[in-house]
Amino acid sequence: MPASGAPPVDAPALKPYLSIAELAQLTPWTDQAIRTMISRGVFREGQHFVYVGRRPVFKWAAIVGFIEQGPPRDRVPHRRDQMKLWDDGGKSDTKPVRSK
């Protein structure tokens, strides 16, 4: 930052609230990755984003905090873990149906 306290001339002007498309342009995540993070609870409503109508609007300051804190402390379970399809040995709990 220059001594005057003003941001550098080439710095993007950031808004406090961003759409999914705007957030995807400023971060390494795609639109779909952001939607997936919402559905898995990585981004939390009220903390990282709010809904305006049916559209999520992201709080830039919260996203910066999320990025700077590193990966989430709580592991987001894989879908198959959530559905409890696999036991500890990696084998399916269901028995295959024999074909005739």
pLDDT exceeds 80 at position 57: yes
Average pLDDT over residues 62-69: 92
* Domain layout of the chain by residue ranges: 17-83
More confident residue, 99 or 47: 47
Q: Which whole-number Å values give the CA distances from 16 to 2, 8, 34, 72, 93, in the listed order?
A: 22, 18, 18, 23, 48
CA atoms within 13 Å, Cβ hemisphere of 44: 6
- Going by pLDDT thresholds of 50, 70 and 90, the confidence category of residue 32 is very high
User: Average pLDDT in the 51-65 region?
Assistant: 95
pLDDT, position 25 = 95
